[in-house]
C-alpha cells in the first residue's frame, strides 16, 4: 500500500511529530517503499497460524507488594526542561 | 409481597422511551505499592513524592507486576461470581497526554484477567441481575493542574501507575436508581473483599457512564454516548437524566445521536461534547513487549476462593434464615461491611431481633443526625450490646434504656456504669413497689373510688403516677400486676 | 608501554593480576589511543579523568576478585550510566543525565571494570551504518570513507582501533553482529532474556538484547559471563544459570552437527561471501563437526516481519520523549504544539520514518493486516529454528550479505540499508543467541564475518565453534592506521 501525503499527515499527528511540506513529500516516498517491501508478507498464507505472544516460554514473574521508591522528587524532576520545586511544568493544556 | 412496578421511562412528545445504561467503573486496587512499580499509593501526599523512575517513564525503565494487585483483582472477580481467566495479556494503549509519562497506559484489551460475572440488585420491584462483561487491570494516570498558573499546567505523577480495576457492566441498567443501587452494591462487595476502599471523594471509585435510549418495545439499542469520569453517584444520576432527555429530544426531532464522549458539567448540570478528545484517538493497542502473558494457577485461585469472606448476598441469606430477620432488615444490615460487622459484634451477647431494632432505628437516627459513618459511631457495638442485655434481663426498662443510650453517646460510656451511677436500675422488688403503689393510692382516694365505680380508664393514671414517683424505674409489668390486685 | 592496547581483554585482565602492568598504565594507553583518534568519531562522552582516578584507586586497593579487575571499558551510549550523560545518539536526549545505572553496565563495574566513555551509535540504535547518529557518522578503521556498520558502530570502531579493550553493544536486528563483521571483531547477541534490559534505552523491547563485542572469542566468553544474569527488575529476564563460558571454552567440537540453511544463499550475494561460507564449512569439518544441509523455509519473510514488529514497538517506546521529563524541549503555544515541535526537532529522519511506520501498522484497521500477521510470521520463523535444532547443534551462515560500504551509499534508500540485516534479523525474531566471528577479507581487504546461531541459552556451543573457526581462519585486523 502506498502511503500518500494525507496518510503521512494523519499518522504524524498520531505520533505527535510536526512535519513541513517537504518532509511530508519525502516521507510519503520513503514510507511507501518500506510498505511495499513489508507487503512481501502478503504472499504467505498465515490463516492457520497462532501469532507469537512472547518468545520466552515462561510465566510473568511478579514482585511482592512492598514500597521501595518514594520521596525521590529531586531525582525525578532533575532532568526536566521546565519545572518548579514540586511539579513538572508544561504549556497550558487546552481541554 | 407487595412489589412496586418498575416505572422509569422518559416521556417524549410522542413516545415513551426506555433508558439503557452501562457502566465502566474504575476502582483503585487497595495495595501499598503501584501496579508495576514499588512507589506508594497513599492519598494526599506532597506532589511528585510517590513517583519512581518507572512511573515517570525514564529511559530503560521496565514494569514488574505487583502480585498482590493480581490477587486483589482475582478476589474481586470471584466476588462478582465471574470467570477468572487463567491466561491474560497486558496491552499498551497509546496516546499522548501530560499526565501519561510513558505515552501509553498499560491496560488489558483483548484478554482481561476476569471475564463475565454478575451483581444482584435489590430494587423495590424485586431483585435484578446486572451482568458484568469483564474486569481488567490497568494503570492510573497522573494529574494535570490547570489553575495554578495562567500560562502553564503543572503535572503531579503521584497517581501515575496506581493499580485500577476497570469493571465493565453489560448494558443492563435501566434507571438512575438502578445505577445508584449498582454502584453501592459493587462498592459494598469490594469493601467486604477489602480490594477497594470505594472512597469516591478521593477518587478511588469513578465511573464512565454509557447512555442510550430506545422506544419502549424496540429490540435494538440506540446509539450511545459515553459520559467520562463522573465521580459521585449523584452526578451520575443527574448526568443520566440529562443525557437521556437530550437524546430523546434529538431523536424525536428527527435528528441522530452521535456516538461520542461527553463530559458532565457539574456547574451547569449538563453533559457536553468533548470533541477535542475525539479527533485524534486511535489507541493502537498491542501486547506490551516488556511483559509476558500473565498465567494464573488453579491452585492460587482455589486458595483465594477459600480465603474469601462472607459476601453481602450470602450474609443476607443467613440473617434471614438463621436470625429470623426480614429481608428488609437483613438488607440494611449487610448493605455495608461495617454495619454488618457492627451488628455481628452486638449480637454476640444479646437478642438479635432487639439488636436489629436498636441499630436500624435508634443508632441510625443518631448517625444520620451527626452525619457519621458507623465506623465512627459514638456508641460502640460492645456497649450497645450491654445496653440491650440489660433490657432483656429486666435490669432496666426500655424507656430508661433510651435515656441511657442518649447518655452513652458522650464518649461511648459503658451503660452499666451509667445505670449504676444514676441508680436507674429497674425496681422489680414487689415490696418496694407495693410501698410506692400504696402511697399513690392513698393520695388519690377519690380516683380509686371513681375507678371502682367503673371508670377503668384511670388505671393508666395510677401507672403513670407510680412511674413518676419511681422516676421511671419501676418495672411496668410488676406495677400492672400489683395495681390490679390492689384495686380489686 | 603503548602496546598494552594491542593485548586482548583476557591478556589485560591476566597482566594486571600478574602485575605485568598496572591498571593505570592500561587505562593511560587506551586514553592515549582514544585522544589521538578523534577522526573516527567514536566517543560521544569521554570519561577519561574519572577512568584514571578509578585506575589509580584500583592500583591502590588491589582487589583482583572480579572477572574484569582494573579494566577500563567504553560502552555504547545506549546504556544508562549514573551521573554520566546518556544520549542514545539522539538530539532528544542530548542533555540527559541518568540518576541510575543499567544492570548490564553495573554488572561490569561489579566485576572490577570502570567506565572509559560512551560510544557513538545510530540514533536509538536504528540504523546499520552509524550514520543516523545526531553526533555524526563514525568511521571504520578500514577506511575513512567506510561505515563501521551499526547500530553499535562506535563500539565496533573503537574496539577495532584499540581505543577500548572490549565493549558492549545492543542488538535488535543485527546491531552487534553486523558492525563486528564490518570491523573484523567478534560480537555476540545472547539469548533473549540472558541479559537484563533494565536501564538500556529501549528500541524494540521484544528484540533488544545487550551483548559483548571483543577482539577474540575468548574475550567474548569472558565478557558474556560478566554481563549475563537474571534481573528481577526486567520481567523478560530469565532465571537460568550463567555458565562460566570462558573457563569452559574449548575448540573441541568434534561430532557437533552444524546446519547449513539453503535459504541464506540469496540472490546477488557476492561470490566472496559464498566462498567465505564454504571456508567456514571446511574449518568446522576440519574440527570434526558434521555438516548437514537444512531448510529454514520462512527466512525470506523475516526482514519484512521485522520491519513491522520493531517499528511498532519503537513507536510506542519512543512516545515518552515528549519534552516534559527530560531531554530536549521545543517551544509551543500549547501542550500539543510543544510535543509536536519537540519530537520534530529532537528525532532524526530514520527515527521519524520508523515511528511513523510503527504508528501506521498499529493504527485502527491495519493491526491485523500488519502487526498480527508479523507475529504469525515470527511464530513460523521460530518454528523453523525449533525444527532445525532437533537435528543440529548450531547453524552456520554468513553474518552479512556484503562487507562495509561507503558512507552515504545507502542513506537515500532506506530499504537497501535494511537489507544489510537480512542474515541477522531472523535470530532476533526467534530470541536465539548468535555470534559473528571474523573469518576472512574480501578482495578490497575488508573483513567478513561468519555467523553461528545456537539453541536458546546455549551460548557455550556457538562460542566453542567460533573458537574452532578463529583458530583456523587465522584472521588478522590488517587495516592501516589512517587516523592518527
pLDDT class of C51 with cuts at 50, 70, 90: very high
User: pLDDT tens digits for A10-63?
Assistant: 999 999 999 999 999 999 999 999 999 999 999 999 999 999 988 888 889 999
HSE-up of residue B168 (Cα within 13 Å, Cβ side): 15
Cβ contacts of B421 within 8 Å, gap of 6 or more = none
- Give the CATH fold of the C2-257 domain: Amidase signature (AS) enzymes (3.90.1300)
Helix (H) or strand (E) holding C340: helix C335-346
HSE-up of residue B455 (Cα within 13 Å, Cβ side): 9
User: pLDDT tens digits for C199-236?
Assistant: 999 999 999 999 999 999 999 999 999 999 999 999 99
Judging contacts by C-beta atoms under 8 Å, the chain C residues touching residue B291 are: 235-236
Substitution target in C84, C88, C99, C322 with the highest count of B β-carbons within 10 Å is C322
Q: What is the sign of the dihedral through the CA atoms of B412, B416, B418 and B419? A: positive
Does the active-site annotation cover C34?
no
Distance CA C207, CA C203 (A): 8
ipTM for the whole complex: 0.97
Tell me the mean pLDDT in the region C335-359: 97
**Residue A32 maps to a domain:** yes
Does the active-site annotation cover C29?
no
pLDDT class of B173 with cuts at 50, 70, 90: very high
Of C88, C232, C324, the CB nearest to B98: C324
Of C323, C373, C418, the CB nearest to A41: C373
In angstroms, the separation between the Cα of residue A11 and the nearest Cα of chain B is: 10
Looking at the complex, does the CB of residue C382 fall below 8 Å from at least one CB of chain A?
yes
What cell does C5 get?
Answer: 592496547
Q: What is the sign of the dihedral through the CA atoms of B23, B106, B277 and B198? A: positive
Task: Please tell me whether the peptide bond between B72 and the residue prior to it is cis, using omega within 30 degrees of 0.
Answer: no
From C76, C139, C189, C455, the catalytic residue: C76
Share of chain C above pLDDT 70, in %: 100
C320/B102 CB distance under 8 A = yes
From C151, C315, C399, C436, the catalytic residue: C151
**C392 DSSP 8-state letter:** -
In degrees and rounded to multiples of 5, residue A48 shows phi and psi of: -100, 10
- HEC string of chain B equals CCCCCCCCCEECCCCEEEEEEEEEEEEECCCCECCCCCCECCCCCCCCCCCCCCCCCCCCCCCCEEHHHHHHHHHHHHHCCCCECCEECCEEEECCCCCCCCCEEEECCCCCCECCEEEEEEECCEEEEEEEEEEEEEECCCEEECCCCCCEEEEECCCCCCEEEEEEECCCECCHHHHHHHHHHHHHHHHHHCCCCCCCCCCCEEEEEEEEEEECCCCCCCCCEEEEEECCHHHHHHHHHHHHHHHHHHHHCCCCCCCCEEEEECCCCEEEECHHHHCCCCCCCEECCCCCCEECCHHHHHHHHHCCCCCHHHHHHHHHHHHCCCHHHHHHHHCCHHHHHHHHHHCCCCCHHHHHHHHHHHHHHHHHHHCCCHHHCCCCHHHHHHHHHHHHCCCCCHHHHHHHHHHHCCCCCCHHHHHHHCCCCCECCHHHHHHHHHHHHHHCHHHHHHHHCCCCCHHHHHHHHHHHHCCCCECHHHHHHHHHHHHC
Residue B288 has pLDDT above 70, yes or no: yes
Distance CA B281, CA B284 (A): 9
User: pLDDT tens digits for C179-195?
Assistant: 999 999 999 999 999 99
Does the active-site annotation cover C151?
yes
A67/B39 CB distance under 8 A = yes
B48/A95 CB distance under 8 A = no
In angstroms, the separation between the Cα of residue A83 and the nearest Cα of chain C is: 9
B98/C335 CB distance under 8 A = yes
In degrees and rounded to multiples of 5, residue A47 shows phi and psi of: -55, -35
At B399 the pLDDT is: 83
**C146 DSSP 8-state letter:** B
Distance CA B131, CA B128 (A): 10
Judging contacts by C-beta atoms under 8 Å, the chain A residues touching residue B65 are: 60-63
Where are chain B's structural domains?
A: 10-304, 310-421, 430-487
C304/A41 CB distance under 8 A = yes
Share of chain B above pLDDT 90, in %: 74
Residue C422 has pLDDT above 80, yes or no: yes
Farthest CA pair distance, chain C? 70
Of B58-67, B436-445, C461-470, C474-483, the range with the lowest mean pLDDT is: B436-445
Radius of gyration of chain B (CA): 30
Substitution target in B51, B59, B101, B106 with the highest count of C β-carbons within 10 Å is B59
* Mean pLDDT, chain C, whole residue set: 97
Of C96, C198, C204, the CB nearest to B62: C198
Residue B368 has pLDDT above 90, yes or no: yes
B98/A93 CB distance under 8 A = yes
**Residue A80 maps to a domain:** no
Judging contacts by C-beta atoms under 8 Å, the chain A residues touching residue B150 are: 92
Of C315, C343, C378, the CB nearest to A52: C378
Q: Which of B351, A46, B393, B484 is nearest to C298 (CA)?
A: A46
Helix (H) or strand (E) holding C435: strand C434-441
Q: How many helices (H) and strands (E) does chain A have?
A: 3, 2
pLDDT class of B209 with cuts at 50, 70, 90: very high
Looking at the complex, does the CB of residue A55 fall below 8 Å from at least one CB of chain C?
yes
Cβ contacts of B481 within 8 Å, gap of 6 or more = none
Bridge partner list, C255: none
Residue B407 has pLDDT above 50, yes or no: yes
Total domains in chain A come to 1
Q: Which of B351, B349, B344, B309 is nearest to B330 (CA)?
A: B344
Judging contacts by C-beta atoms under 8 Å, the chain A residues touching residue B291 are: 60
Looking at the complex, does the CB of residue C353 fall below 8 Å from at least one CB of chain A?
yes
Cβ neighbourhood burial of B464 (10 Å; 0-12, 13-18, 19+): exposed
User: pLDDT tens digits for C273-299?
Assistant: 999 999 999 999 999 999 999 999 999
**Residue A25 maps to a domain:** yes
Residue C28 has pLDDT above 90, yes or no: yes
C233/B286 CB distance under 8 A = no
> How many other CB atoms are found less than 10 A from the CB of residue B320?
16
At B1 the pLDDT is: 47
Residue B9 has pLDDT above 50, yes or no: yes
User: pLDDT tens digits for C136-179?
Assistant: 999 999 999 999 999 999 999 999 999 999 999 999 999 999 99
Residues of chain C numbered 250-309 and touching chain A (CB < 8 Å): 298, 300-301, 303-305, 307-308
Judging contacts by C-beta atoms under 8 Å, the chain C residues touching residue B285 are: 362, 367
Closest residue in A to C336 (Cα–Cα): A16
Judging contacts by C-beta atoms under 8 Å, the chain B residues touching residue C320 are: 57, 59, 101-103
At C1 the pLDDT is: 44
User: pLDDT tens digits for C307-321?
Assistant: 999 999 999 999 999
Judging contacts by C-beta atoms under 8 Å, the chain C residues touching residue A92 are: 334-335
B293/A84 CB distance under 8 A = no
Of B207-221, B444-458, C163-177, C338-352, the range with the lowest mean pLDDT is: B444-458
C235/B56 CB distance under 8 A = no
Where are chain C's structural domains?
A: 2-257
Residue B280 has pLDDT above 80, yes or no: no
Task: Determine the CATH number of domain B430-487.
Answer: 1.10.10.410
CATH code, domain carrying A16? 1.10.20
Residue B285 has pLDDT above 60, yes or no: yes
Judging contacts by C-beta atoms under 8 Å, the chain B residues touching residue A62 are: 64-67, 70
> Taking a C-beta distance cutoff of 8 angstroms, is the pair A81, C323 a contact?
yes
**Residue A56 maps to a domain:** no
Tell me the mean pLDDT in the region C239-252: 94
Distance CA A25, CA C360 (A): 16
Tell me the mean pLDDT in the region C96-118: 98
* Mean pLDDT, chain B, whole residue set: 93
Of B59, B284, B290, the CB nearest to C201: B59
Of C197, C326, C362, the CB nearest to B62: C197
Helix (H) or strand (E) holding C292: strand C290-294
Closest residue in C to B153 (Cα–Cα): C335
Q: Percentage helix, strand, coil, to 5, in chain C?
A: 45, 15, 45
> How many other CB atoms are found less than 10 A from the CB of residue B2?
4
User: pLDDT tens digits for B319-354?
Assistant: 999 999 999 999 999 999 999 999 999 999 889 999
Distance CA C360, CA A27 (A): 13
Q: Distance between alpha carbon B176 and the CA centroid of its chain, in Å?
A: 16
At C25 the pLDDT is: 98
Q: Which domain holds residue A31?
A: 5-43
**Residue A34 maps to a domain:** yes
Residue B3 has pLDDT above 90, yes or no: no
At B275 the pLDDT is: 64
Of C198, C232, C339, the CB nearest to B96: C339
Residue A1 has pLDDT above 80, yes or no: no
User: pLDDT tens digits for B446-481?
Assistant: 988 888 888 888 888 988 888 888 888 888 888 888
C235/B284 CB distance under 8 A = no
Higher-confidence residue of B393 and C275: namely C275
Amino acid at each position: 500500500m502506498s502511503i500518500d501525503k494525507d496518510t503521512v499527515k494523519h499518522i504524524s499527528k498520531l505520533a505527535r511529530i510536526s512535519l513541513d511540506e517537504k518532509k511530508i513529500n519525502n516521507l510519503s516516498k520513503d514510507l511507501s517503499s518500506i510498505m511495499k517491501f513489508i507487503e512481501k508478507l502478503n504472499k504467505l498464507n498465515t490463516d492457520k497460524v497462532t501469532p507469537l505472544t512472547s518468545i520466552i516460554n515462561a510465566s510473568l514473574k511478579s514482585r511482592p507488594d512492598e514500597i521501595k521508591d518514594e520521596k525521590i522528587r529531586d531525582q525525578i524532576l532533575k532532568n526536566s526542561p521546565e519545572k518548579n520545586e514540586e511539579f513538572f511544568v508544561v504549556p497550558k493544556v487546552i481541554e | 409481597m407487595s412489589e412496586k412496578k418498575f416505572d422509569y421511562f422518559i416521556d417524549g412528545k410522542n413516545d415513551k422511551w426506555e433508558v439503557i445504561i452501562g457502566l465502566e467503573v474504575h476502582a483503585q486496587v487497595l495495595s501499598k505499592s503501584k501496579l508495576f512499580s514499588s512507589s506508594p499509593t497513599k492519598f494526599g501526599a506532597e506532589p511528585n513524592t510517590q513517583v519512581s523512575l518507572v512511573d515517570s517513564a525514564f529511559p530503560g525503565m521496565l514494569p514488574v507486576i505487583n502480585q498482590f494487585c493480581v490477587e486483589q483483582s482475582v478476589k474481586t472477580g470471584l466476588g462478582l461470581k465471574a470467570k477468572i481467566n487463567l491466561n491474560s495479556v497486558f496491552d499498551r494503549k497509546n496516546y499522548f497526554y501530560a499526565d501519561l509519562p510513558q505515552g501509553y497506559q498499560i491496560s488489558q484489551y483483548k484478554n482481561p484477567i476476569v471475564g463475565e460475572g454478575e451483581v444482584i440488585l435489590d430494587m423495590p420491584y424485586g431483585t435484578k441481575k446486572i451482568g458484568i462483561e469483564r474486569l481488567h487491570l490497568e494503570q492510573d494516570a497522573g494529574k494535570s493542574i490547570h489553575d495554578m498558573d495562567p500560562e502553564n499546567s503543572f503535572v503531579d505523577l503521584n497517581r501515575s501507575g496506581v493499580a485500577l480495576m476497570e469493571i465493565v457492566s453489560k448494558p443492563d441498567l435501566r434507571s438512575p436508581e438502578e445505577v445508584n443501587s449498582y454502584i453501592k452494591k459493587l462498592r459494598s462487595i469490594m469493601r467486604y473483599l477489602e480490594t477497594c476502599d470505594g472512597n469516591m471523594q478521593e477518587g478511588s471509585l469513578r465511573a464512565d457512564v454509557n447512555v442510550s435510549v430506545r422506544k419502549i418495545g424496540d429490540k435494538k439499542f440506540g446509539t450511545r454516548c459515553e459520559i467520562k469520569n463522573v465521580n459521585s453517584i449523584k452526578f451520575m444520576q443527574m448526568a443520566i437524566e440529562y443525557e437521556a432527555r437530550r437524546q430523546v429530544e434529538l431523536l424525536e426531532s428527527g435528528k441522530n445521536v452521535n456516538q461520542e464522549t461527553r463530559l458532565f458539567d457539574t456547574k451547569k448540570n449538563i453533559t457536553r461534547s468533548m470533541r477535542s478528545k475525539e479527533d485524534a484517538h486511535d489507541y493502537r493497542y498491542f501486547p506490551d513487549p516488556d511483559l509476558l502473558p500473565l498465567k494464573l494457577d488453579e491452585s492460587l485461585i482455589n486458595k483465594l476462593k477459600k480465603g474469601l469472606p462472607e459476601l453481602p448476598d450470602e450474609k443476607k441469606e443467613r440473617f434471614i434464615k438463621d436470625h429470623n430477620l426480614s429481608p428488609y432488615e437483613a438488607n440494611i444490615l449487610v448493605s455495608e461491611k461495617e454495619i454488618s460487622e457492627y451488628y455481628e459484634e452486638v449480637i454476640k451477647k444479646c437478642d438479635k431481633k432487639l439488636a436489629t431494632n436498636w441499630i436500624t432505628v435508634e443508632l441510625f437516627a443518631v448517625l444520620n443526625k451527626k452525619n457519621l459513618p458507623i465506623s465512627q459511631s459514638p456508641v460502640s457495638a460492645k456497649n450497645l450490646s450491654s445496653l440491650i442485655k440489660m433490657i432483656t434481663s429486666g435490669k432496666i426498662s426500655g424507656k430508661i434504656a433510651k435515656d441511657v443510650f442518649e447518655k452513652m453517646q458522650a464518649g461511648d460510656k459503658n451503660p452499666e456504669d451509667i445505670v449504676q451511677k444514676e441508680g436507674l436500675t429497674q425496681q422489680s422488688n414487689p415490696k418496694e413497689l407495693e410501698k410506692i403503689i400504696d402511697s399513690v393510692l392513698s393520695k388519690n382516694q377519690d380516683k380509686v373510688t371513681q375507678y371502682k365505680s367503673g371508670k377503668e380508664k384511670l388505671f393508666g393514671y395510677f401507672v403513670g403516677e407510680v412511674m413518676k414517683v419511681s422516676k421511671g424505674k419501676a418495672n411496668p409489668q410488676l406495677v400492672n400486676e400489683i395495681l390490679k390486685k390492689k384495686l380489686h | 608501554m603503548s602496546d598494552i592496547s594491542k593485548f586482548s581483554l583476557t591478556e589485560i585482565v591476566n597482566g594486571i593480576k600478574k602485575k605485568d602492568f598496572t591498571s593505570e598504565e592500561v587505562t593511560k594507553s587506551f586514553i592515549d589511543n582514544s585522544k589521538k583518534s578523534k577522526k573516527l568519531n567514536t566517543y560521544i562522552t569521554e570519561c577519561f579523568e574519572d577512568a584514571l582516578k578509578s585506575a589509580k584507586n584500583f592500583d591502590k586497593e588491589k582487589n583482583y576478585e572480579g572477572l574484569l579487575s582494573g579494566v577500563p571499558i567504553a560502552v555504547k551510549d545506549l546504556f544508562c550510566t549514573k551521573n554520566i550523560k546518556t544520549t542514545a545518539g539522539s538530539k532528544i536526549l542530548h542533555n540527559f543525565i541518568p540518576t541510575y545505572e543499567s544492570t548490564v553496565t553495573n554488572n561490569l563495574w561489579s566485576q572490577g571494570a570502570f567506565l572509559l566513555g560512551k560510544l557513538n551509535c545510530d540514533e536509538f540504535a536504528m540504523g546499520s551504518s552509524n550514520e543516523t547518529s545526531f553526533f555524526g557518522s563514525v568511521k571504520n578503521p578500514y577506511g575513512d570513507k567506510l561505515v563501521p556498520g551499526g547500530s553499535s558502530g562506535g563500539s565496533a570502531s573503537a574496539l577495532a582501533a584499540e581505543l577500548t579493550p572490549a565493549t558492549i553493544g545492543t542488538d535488535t536486528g543485527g546491531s552487534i553482529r553486523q558492525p563486528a563483521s564490518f570491523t573484523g571483531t567478534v560480537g555476540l547477541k545472547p539469548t533473549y532474556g540472558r541479559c537484563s534490559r533494565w536501564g538500556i534505552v529501549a528500541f524494540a523491547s521484544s528484540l533488544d538484547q545487550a551483548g559483548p563485542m571483543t577482539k577474540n572469542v575468548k574475550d567474548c566468553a569472558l565478557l558474556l559471563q560478566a554481563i549475563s544474569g537474571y534481573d528481577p527488575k526486567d520481567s523478560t529476564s530469565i532465571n537460568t544459570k550463567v555458565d562460566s563460558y570462558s573457563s569452559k571454552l574449548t575448540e573441541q567440537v568434534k561430532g557437533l552437527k552444524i546446519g547449513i540453511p539453503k535459504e541464506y544463499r540469496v540472490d546477488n550475494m557476492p561470490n566472496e561471501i559464498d566462498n567465505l561460507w564454504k571456508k567456514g564449512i571446511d574449518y568446522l569439518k576440519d574440527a570434526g563437526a558434521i555438516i548437514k544441509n537444512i531448510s529454514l523455509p520462512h527466512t525470506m519473510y523475516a526482514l519484512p516481519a521485522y520491519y513491522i514488529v520493531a517499528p511498532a514497538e519503537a513507536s510506542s517506546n519512543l512516545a515518552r520523549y515528549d519534552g516534559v521529563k527530560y531531554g530536549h524541549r521545543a517551544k509551543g503555544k500549547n501542550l500539543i504544539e510543544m510535543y509536536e515541535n519537540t519530537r520534530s526537532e529532537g528525532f532524526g529522519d530514520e527515527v521519524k520514518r520508523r515511528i511513523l511506520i510503527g504508528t501506521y501498522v498499529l493504527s485502527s484497521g491495519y493491526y491485523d493486516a500488519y502487526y498480527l500477521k508479523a507475529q504469525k510470521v515470527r511464530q513460523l520463523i521460530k518454528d523453523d529454528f525449533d525444527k532445525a535444532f532437533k537435528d543440529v547443534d548450531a547453524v552456520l551462515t554468513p553474518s552479512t550479505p556484503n562487507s562495509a560500504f561507503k558512507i552515504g551509499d545507502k542513506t537515500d534508500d532506506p530499504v537497501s540499508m535494511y537489507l544489510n540485516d537480512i542474515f541477522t534479523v531472523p535470530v532476533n525474531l526467534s530470541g536465539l543467541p548468535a555470534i559473528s566471528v571474523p573469518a576472512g577479507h574480501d578482495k578490497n581487504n575488508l573483513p567478513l564475518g561468519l555467523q553461528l546461531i545456537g539453541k536458546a541459552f546455549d551460548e557455550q556451543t556457538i562460542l566453542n565453534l567460533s573458537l574452532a573457526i578463529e583458530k583456523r581462519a587465522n584472521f588478522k585486523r590488517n587495516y592501516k592506521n589512517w587516523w592518527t
